[in-house]
């Protein structure tokens, strides 16, 4: 259990909870604890899906500017690399991950949300990459994940201007995938995550790996990755159970053990 980041597990769903009031500003300790929580969520067999959550008021308001402002170049180089590595560990969690976004997800906060597979936001949220207003650029995946998600021209508009985006525009752009009432954000995220608790965990891991790995390579290489992961699933009990159930009982009735 960290001071600013905890992993809470209930009924197969793990919640990585940020808790650094008032706005969950990301400092060195928080990013270190975030990496630890991501590793734990990846390794625990009782965690089948993950929610990223900053609480009822705000997801994460960005990096701790007071801490960053006076750093030397060697110091910020180290912090930047570590923050990128922490976000990458969250992105690499081999299970379905959903971000439950309340209040604000700005700068490093949006970059953290972008590591998720699905994003649920309250209808009053604001998201953005305002780093340009500080004379810098996003440094924890914003230029890369955002452009892959919504396309380079739209990402450049947001990054060049540093403007805040409201929930309706974020949904239209594809930054978030679902918009609900503010009080329903965590419940909606939990509903999305819970549907995978009894699913074929190895196949879900393979699907995520195929998609994410394929985005970084050409189509021919991506197809080879897909074929390798597809055929490897014939070594799992879930494949045998799933196909046997389909033949005997029809679709959608299989019981999976995650093996």
User: Cα 43 to the chain's mean position, in Å?
Assistant: 16
Q: Give me the catalytic one of 8, 131, 169, 237.
A: 131
Q: Where are the alpha helices (DSSP H) in 44-101?
A: 65-69, 73-91
Q: How far apart are CA 60 and CA 16, in angstroms?
A: 13
- Coil, helix or strand at residue 10: strand
Length of the chain: 259
CA distances from 53 to 4, 76, 184, 185 (A): 12, 26, 13, 9
Question: CA nearest 99: which of 137, 140, 131, 58?
Answer: 58
* Residue 75 annotated as catalytic: no
Q: Give me the catalytic one of 36, 75, 82, 111.
A: 111
Question: CA nearest 63: which of 107, 95, 97, 23?
Answer: 107
CB 51 within 8 A of CB 186: yes
Residues 6+ apart with CB under 8 A from 242: 200, 254, 256
* Residue 257 annotated as catalytic: no
> Active-site residues: which are they?
111, 131
């Amino acid at each position: 259990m960290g001071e600013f980041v905890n992993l809470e597990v209930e009924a197969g769903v793990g919640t990585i909870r940020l808790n650094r009031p008032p706005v969950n500003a990301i400092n060195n300790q928080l990013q270190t604890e975030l990496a630890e929580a991501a590793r734990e969520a990846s390794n625990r067999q009782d965690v089948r899906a993950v929610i990223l959550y900053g609480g009822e008021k705000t997801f994460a308001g960005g990096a701790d500017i007071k801490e960053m402002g006076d750093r030397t170049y060697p110091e910020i180089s180290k912090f930047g690399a570590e923050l990128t590595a922490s976000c990458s560990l969250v992105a690499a969690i081999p299970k379905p991950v959903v971000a439950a976004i309340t209040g604000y997800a700005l700068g490093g906060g949006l970059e953290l949300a972008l590591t998720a597979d699905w994003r649920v936001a309250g209808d009053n949220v604001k998201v953005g990459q305002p780093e340009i207003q500080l004379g810098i650029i996003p440094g924890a995946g914003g230029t890369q994940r955002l452009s892959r998600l919504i396309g380079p021209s739209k990402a450049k508009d947001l990054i060049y201007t540093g403007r805040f985006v409201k929930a309706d525009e974020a949904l239209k752009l594809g930054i978030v995938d679902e918009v609900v009432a503010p009080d329903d954000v965590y419940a909606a995220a939990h509903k999305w995550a819970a549907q995978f608790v009894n699913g074929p965990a190895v196949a879900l891991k393979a699907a995520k790996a195929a998609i994410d790995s394929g985005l970084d390579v050409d189509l021919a290489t991506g197809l080879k990755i897909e074929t390798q992961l597809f055929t490897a699933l014939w070594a799992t009990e879930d494949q045998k159970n799933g196909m046997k159930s389909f033949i005997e009982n029809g679709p959608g009735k299989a019981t999976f053990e995650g093996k």
